[in-house]
Amino acid sequence: ACRHRGMSVCRADVGNAKSFLCSFHGWTYDSAGNLISAPNLESGYHGQLDKSQWGLVAVPRVETYKGLIFGCFAPEAPSLLDYLGEMAWYLDCLLDRREGGTEIIGGVHKMRTRGNWKLAAEQFAGDNYHAIMTHVSVRDAWADPQAGRAPAGFSKAMTLPGRQFSSRQGHGMAGFLLKSSGVPSFSGDPSISEDQGIVADYYKATRNEVANRLGAERADGPADGAGLVFPNFAFLSGVLGSSTIAVFQPRGPHQFDHWRWGIMDKAAPKAVKEAMVRCLHVWPIGVADADDGENWGGIQASLGGPMAQSLKFNYQMGMGTEGPDSVYPGTGVPNMLGEFPQRRFYRRWL
């Protein structure tokens, strides 16, 4: 924010610049954040503006993990690796599958969503349960009785082998575990669409390479699902042909900005990347984010009343099923459905 009146001095999503010119009164900062010029220094400020005191405020902690940049305003915060803890092991399933890491494809998708940011955060931390009802239309939209494709839904899928993970930091995740095909459960149903078939073939072809790199237990998908790095960074990995990352930025208690990017292996062939982009425009950006947003907004509306505010809500699913696992780090639940990560998320938030 500009130190004169607070206007944002960088309004571009991508690119680079040698300096940043504020569009309000024209104060200009260099790429290190120093104030280097302001209009009418003599006739307006009579030479009394001490530019050295009015540079942009630095984010005191900036660290990267496998291509992602995290900033933190708390100088005493733990190191990023300590903070991510066991979650880093799972994040690698998305970020470190192949040499060269990942790249963002297709720009940023921005949605201003009604609802408190925690509704989105708790959902990504572990709420697979909602997909059965909320997203019933997504898989059915691909159904084509004439081609012999029945509506698929998510109900059965949620009984497939899977795992939830949660950490004391409030991170959470729920993903499918696959035997050894290397294909995420929903990233490769050629009967659903040709693009998903292309993506499925890619996962199959790279499975052994990923297993050599990360080990079989990670090649076979513990993070193929949704996850949250507390408080507001989320991912959706290997679902219906796409992988995405997202950030939820609160805009007061009643709405938030929901930003989402497609992410994929840099080393993937162009045709696979293009198929993944077409998949992500259906899921999650085209349909699923709107499905979720409709529910978050409806919750926010009902929570505005005094009656709803006095109620307790039910977070009991899977209580007592959590525990350590011999293969997967952290505390987990040995299936896809449960509310353990959501309970942990709110405990950390409290």
What residues make contact with Fe ion under the rule CB under 5 A?
292
By the rule CB under 6 A, 2 interacts with ligand FES: yes
By the rule CB under 6 A, 22 interacts with ligand FES: yes
Pick between residue 224 and residue 292 the one whose CB is nearest to Fe ion.
292
Query: Least distance from C-beta 6 to ligand FES, angstroms?
Result: 6
Residue 31's identity, in one-letter code, is S
What is the C-alpha separation between 278 and 304, in angstroms, rounded? Answer: 38
| Nearest residue to 114 (alpha-carbon basis) of 347, 271, 289 | 289
Pick between residue 29 and residue 65 the one whose CB is nearest to ligand FES.
29
Residue 214's identity, in one-letter code, is L
Q: Which of 8, 17, 19, 25 binds ligand FES (CB under 6 A)?
A: 25
Pick between residue 21 and residue 160 the one whose CB is nearest to Fe ion.
160
Partner whose footprint covers residue 254, from ligand FES, Fe ion, none (CB < 5 to 8 Å by kind): none
By the rule CB under 6 A, 45 interacts with ligand FES: no
Query: Least distance from C-beta 134 to Fe ion, angstroms?
Result: 6
**Summary count for the chain: helices (H), strands (E):** 11, 13
5: phi > 0 → left, psi -120 to 50 → alpha, else beta; which?
alpha
Q: What is the DSSP letter of 58?
A: P
What is the C-alpha separation between 236 and 245, in angstroms, rounded? Answer: 6
Residue with tokens 């260099």: 30
By the rule CB under 6 A, 35 interacts with ligand FES: no
| Opening angle at CA 272, ends 266 and 277, nearest 5 | 85
Pick between residue 206 and residue 232 the one whose CB is nearest to Fe ion.
232
By the rule CB under 6 A, 229 interacts with ligand FES: no
Stretch that binds ligand FES, among 2-10, 55-63, 178-186, 320-328 (CB under 6 A): 2-10
| Nearest residue to 138 (alpha-carbon basis) of 279, 294, 292, 288 | 288
**What residues line the site for ligand FES (CB under 6 A)?**
2, 4-5, 7, 22, 24-27
